């Protein structure tokens, strides 16, 4: 699994203030401690991999990748509506306590989150990538700033704008959303597509494959339990990182409206097709591109040098 390393250029890393191997001298076991911690939790609950990946994404899109999403308290990011379903905090806290025992005050919570997200993908049979480290932890966390996170009803134009604001391209958008190949969502976030979405035909979102609709309605009946969890990548194991998610989009089996739009919108469909290896198009390796896009995302708005702090406990500012 660790046979392929996706690297970014040294110049790009130094400009961002992070670099691969940042802790080689100050805490040489840092990455192995995080990896073994993630492995331990993954063995008992493989779905934690998707939780860590989503948490890292939500952290980076608000205040940058500074672990501000981990801070407890009234009005913090953690309390914002889009973040209420985040999970995996116990993995980060576990890794932090082990790192504090080995190298007190050295490894940031922001770096732990970036490393843990990568390790979860690898455990889910995805390719690995080299994670630049050296981030510091933020001291500010505000729920109101989480309002602009990409949402499940967003148009492709809205999604592009939100990603572009963070320095990410449409290809990064499609690639990172492809992380939905692992993980689940709740009925409340897509059941509106199944009933009374239109006043014609079967009443469902017309982009849903009609043969798939009965299965979704059985899983999420009208006025049923909105908290019931459904796999985002149907038809394959929920903890397998692969390209089946993109095939499902082509077949009208995207669960979230925002995901299915990656296929129905011509501007992003070509990228989806490239990941699927459609004949006649220059193919892309999803595993390789995912690592590259994750490195870009993990350098959004980072704090380095004397900015921020190295938290002793990830849920609390020093």
CA 74, CA 53: separation in Å to the nearest integer? 24
62 in a labelled binding site: yes
Phi, psi of 168 (to 5 degrees): -110, 140
CA 173, CA 170: separation in Å to the nearest integer? 5
Q: Are 50 and 181 in contact (CB under 8 A)?
A: no
Q: Round the CA-based radius of gyration of the chain to a whole number and report it.
A: 19
242 in a labelled binding site: yes
Q: Please state, in angstroms and as integers, the Cα–Cα distance from residue 243 to each residue in 178, 206, 250, 252, following that order.
A: 8, 24, 12, 15
| Catalytic annotation, pick one of 54, 56, 58, 253 | 58
94 in a labelled binding site: no
77 in a labelled binding site: yes
| Helix pair angle (170-177, 286-297), 10° resolution | 110
45 in a labelled binding site: no
59 in a labelled binding site: yes
Distance in Å from the first CA to the final CA of the chain: 37
CA 174, CA 246: separation in Å to the nearest integer? 9
73 in a labelled binding site: no
236 in a labelled binding site: yes
Tokens 């967003």 — which residue? 154
Is 58 catalytic? The answer is yes
- Annotated binding residues: 59, 62, 64, 66, 68, 77, 150, 180-181, 233, 236, 242
Q: Which residues are annotated as a binding site for heme b?
A: 180
The residues annotated as belonging to the active site are: 58
* Binding site, annotated residues for Ca(2+): 59, 62, 64, 66, 68, 77, 181, 233, 236, 242
């Amino acid at each position: 699994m660790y046979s392929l390393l996706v690297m970014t250029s040294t110049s790009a890393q130094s400009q961002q203030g992070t670099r691969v191997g940042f802790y080689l001298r100050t805490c040489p076991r840092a990455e192995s401690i995080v990896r073994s911690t993630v492995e331990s939790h993954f063995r008992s609950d493989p779905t934690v991999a998707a939780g860590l990946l989503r948490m890292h994404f939500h952290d980076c899109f608000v205040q940058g990748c500074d672990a501000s999403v981990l801070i407890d308290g009234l009005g913090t990011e953690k309390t914002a509506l889009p973040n209420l379903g985040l999970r995996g905090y116990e993995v980060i806290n576990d890794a932090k306590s082990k790192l504090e025992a080995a190298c007190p005050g050295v490894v940031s919570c922001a770096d732990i989150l970036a490393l843990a997200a990568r390790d979860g993908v690898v455990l889910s049979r995805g390719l690995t990538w080299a994670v630049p480290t050296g981030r510091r932890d933020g001291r500010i966390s505000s729920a109101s700033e989480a309002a602009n996170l990409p949402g499940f009803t967003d148009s492709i134009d809205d999604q592009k704008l939100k990603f572009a604001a963070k320095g990410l391209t449409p290809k990064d958008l499609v690639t990172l959303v492809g992380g939905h190949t692992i993980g689940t969502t709740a009925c409340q976030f897509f059941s509106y597509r199944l009933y009374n979405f239109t006043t014609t035909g079967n009443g469902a979102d017309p982009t849903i494959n009609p043969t798939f609709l009965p299965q979704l309605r059985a899983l999420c009946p009208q006025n049923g339990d909105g908290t019931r969890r459904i796999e985002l990548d149907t038809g394959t194991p929920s903890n397998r990182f692969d390209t089946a998610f993109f095939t499902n989009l082509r077949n009208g089996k995207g669960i979230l409206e925002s995901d299915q739009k990656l296929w129905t919108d011509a501007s992003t469909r070509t990228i989806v097709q490239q990941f699927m290896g459609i004949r006649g198009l220059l193919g892309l390796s999803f595993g390789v591109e995912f690592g590259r896009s994750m490195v870009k995302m993990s350098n959004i708005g980072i704090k380095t040098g004397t900015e921020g702090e190295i938290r002793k406990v990830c849920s609390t500012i020093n």
